[in-house]
Every structure is written in structure tokens, then in C-alpha cells.
Amino acid sequence: MFLKRLDVIGFKSFAERISVDFVKGVTAVVGPNGSGKSNITDAIRWVLGEQSARSLRGGKMEDIIFAGSDSRKRLNLAEVTLTLDNDDHFLPIDFHEVSVTRRVYRSGESEFLINNQPCRLKDIIDLFMDSGLGKEAFSIISQGKVEEILSSKAEDRRSIFEEAAGVLKYKTRKKKAENKLFETQDNLNRVEDILHELEGQVEPLKIQASIAKDYLEKKKELEHVEIALTAYDIEELHGKWSTLKEKVQLAKEEELAESSAISAKEAKIEDTRDKIQALDESVDELQQVLLATSEELEKLEGRKEVLKERKKKAVQNQEQLEEAIVQFQQKVTVLKEELAKQEAVFETLQTEVK
């Protein structure tokens, strides 16, 4: 197993994506103070599951996201991917190359991936347990830590050596097994207690058993009685059921008769409705005729008035003419008298002439 590559974006001072290829022969990363060398080890420690912001030299986890500079806006995401060669299957996973990725957003959400598959932080910690690469492993010793290790307590030092020697895993398993054993012993003790208690209960239980036996016999008797009672109930109910059934049949027949009567009545209603409709229509027609006749009557009434007027005039004319006739007749009489006078004159004259 060896470290192949580290890809970082948005982590601490690395605003741009950087990829460090640890090709064969690379033994050191050098640079001026503050250029980001320690940030590279921080990135490795973080991707391997470091949870403490303080040991990444920050106040809170958000501080590891690129905070912006004079020329660049701050970022909202930090992502680190560590790629390891696993040709020798040193890591207990069936891949020749293993990459672990960790992402954190400013909102606090975070993601972990092994070979691009989402996983839990625990999966990553388990993967590296006893590999010498864990977040607390001796393979990462930060600036100033060497001294701290040398001066730390013998117990703390021991755990570093245990991790390096790969026995931590077995120690953890042993602890688990011991816990289980302890639990089992505890359970056994409890079983023994219960047994002891039960022994004292044997005599009272015997009495209870004989009562229970009695009870069972009585219960059986009761069952027989109940069965007989139920049979009687069934018979009675069956009788009632038969009568009700007949009633239902009768009611059904009645219903049938009623419904055919209703149908006949409905047909009649329908028929009457048709007739009413026809009558309505003829009433409409008659109304139409009545209207036309009234109009005609009105016209004739007008004409009658005109004729009345004309008749009145004619009567007047007739009277005038009759008057004229009388006058003419008087004139004729006068003229006839004149004529007779004139003829007498003429005759006298003739005689005279003769």
C-alpha cells in the first residue's frame, strides 16, 4: 500500500483544485512559511475522518472551507480525495486502488465516499483501523507533535505503539468478547436466582395444580351445558328464521305487485302528460286564431265606422235631394199654372187673330 495522489478543492488555502501526485521518489513537500504545507497534512488527516476542528488548527469545522482572499470570493464546499494503491491488498477491500473522499458544505452537511460510493464515516475509520493510516496514527505527526509524543504519558505512548503494531483491532475485539462473557455470566447468575426462587414455589404450585385440574373438569362440564344450550338456541333461531323467511317472501311478492301497479300508473301519468302537451299546443293554436280574429274584427269595426259615416252622409244627401224634388215639383206646378195661363193667353190671342 502506498499513497498515490491527493486531490483537494476548497480546503483551507486551496481555492483552486490541486492534485499532488506522490510518484516514486517523492519524499518531501517544501515551500515558504504559510504556503500550505501543513494544510496538506491537515487535508489527509481530515479525509481519514478527523472530527476535531482544533486538531486541524481551526475553531470550528466550517473554518476548513476556503474563507476567501483579496482576489477571490469564499467557497461553500471543501472536498478532499485521497487515492491509495492497494495492489498488495493491505487494506481489507477488494480493489487495487482505493480512493476515499470527504466533502463538507458551509450549511454543515457532509458526505463520505469510498471509491465514489457514499458511505458512513465509520466505514472509513474501520477501513483504516490498524493500517497505520488512521487519523490518530503514528504516520501523521504534525509540527510540534514529536515533542508532545516523547513527553506524553507512558499509557498514551503505548496506544500509539499498539496502533502501529496493528494490535488495536484485536484489543478492541477482546474487550467486546470480555463484555459479552461478563453479560452471559450475569444472565447465568440471574437464571440461578430464578431457579432458587422457583424451588420454594413447588408446594404451593401443586395445590394450585389440583385446583386447576378441578377447574378444568368443571370447565368441561360447563362446555357441555353450553353446547346443549347453543344447540337449543340454534333450533329456536332456525324456527324464527324460517317464519321470517316466509314473511320476506310474501313481502317480496307484494312489492312485485306494487311495483307493477306503480309502473302502470306511471305509464298513465306519461300518457296524460302527452295529452296535456297536445292540449297546450292546440290552446296555443287557438290563441293564435283568436288573435288574428280580433285583429280582423278591429279592422271590420273600423270599416263599419267608415260605412256608418258614409250612410249618414247619404241620408243627408237624400233629404237634400227630396227637398230639392219638392221644390222642383212646386216650381213645376207654378210653371204648369203659368203655362196654362200662357195657353189661355195664346188662345185668346189666336181667336183675336182669327
Which of the residues 214 through 253 are near ligand ATP (CB under 6 A)?
A: none
* Stretch in the footprint of ligand ATP (CB under 6 A) among 62-70, 134-142, 262-270, 325-333: 62-70
Could you tell which of ligand ATP, Mg ion, none binds residue 13, using a CB distance below 5 to 8 A set by kind? ligand ATP
Could you tell which of Mg ion, ligand ATP, none binds residue 12, using a CB distance below 5 to 8 A set by kind? ligand ATP
Contact 161, 137 (CB under 8 A): no
Residue that the C-alpha cell 472551507 belongs to: 65
Kindly tell me the sign of the dihedral angle through the C-alpha atoms of 116, 122, 127, 130. Answer: positive
C-alpha cell at 310: 258614409
**Burial class for 307, CB neighbours closer than 10 Å (0-12, 13-18, 19+):** exposed
Nearest position to Mg ion, beta carbon: 38
CB of 50 to ligand ATP, least distance (A): 15
Q: Could you say whether residue 35 binds ligand ATP (CB under 6 A)?
A: yes
Distance of CA 1 to the CA centre of its chain: 53
Question: Residue 58 or residue 169: which is nearer to ligand ATP going by CB?
Answer: 58
Q: Single out the residue of 12, 45, 102, 135 in contact with ligand ATP (rule: CB under 6 A).
A: 12
C-alpha cell at 293: 280574429
Contact 34, 87 (CB under 8 A): no
CB of 190 to ligand ATP, least distance (A): 56
Which of the residues 7 through 46 are near Mg ion (CB under 5 A)?
A: 38
Could you tell which of Mg ion, ligand ATP, none binds residue 44, using a CB distance below 5 to 8 A set by kind? none
List the alpha helices (DSSP H) in the chain: 37-47, 121-128, 145-151, 154-165, 168-200, 202-353
How far are the Cα atoms of 51, 80, 95, 121, 124 from residue 110, in angstroms, in the given order?
A: 12, 12, 25, 10, 14
* Stretch in the footprint of ligand ATP (CB under 6 A) among 29-37, 89-97, 227-235, 266-274: 29-37
> How many CB atoms neighbour CB 278 within 10 A?
10
CB of 35 to ligand ATP, least distance (A): 4
Nearest position to ligand ATP, beta carbon: 38
* Stretch in the footprint of ligand ATP (CB under 6 A) among 26-34, 46-54, 164-172, 328-336: 26-34
Q: Could you say whether residue 77 binds ligand ATP (CB under 6 A)?
A: no
Distance CA 37, CA 260 (A): 103
C-alpha cell at 32: 515558504
- Per-residue binder mask for ligand ATP (CB under 6 A), 119-158, x = binder: ------------------------x---------------
Q: Single out the residue of 25, 31, 108, 204 in contact with ligand ATP (rule: CB under 6 A).
A: 31
Distance CA 13, CA 312 (A): 131
Q: Could you say whether residue 36 binds ligand ATP (CB under 6 A)?
A: yes
Residues 6+ apart with CB under 8 A from 82: 3, 5, 6, 44, 47, 48, 99, 100, 101
Query: Could you list the residues that contact Mg ion (CB under 5 A)?
Result: 38
Query: Could you list the residues that contact ligand ATP (CB under 6 A)?
Result: 12-13, 31, 33-39, 63-67, 143
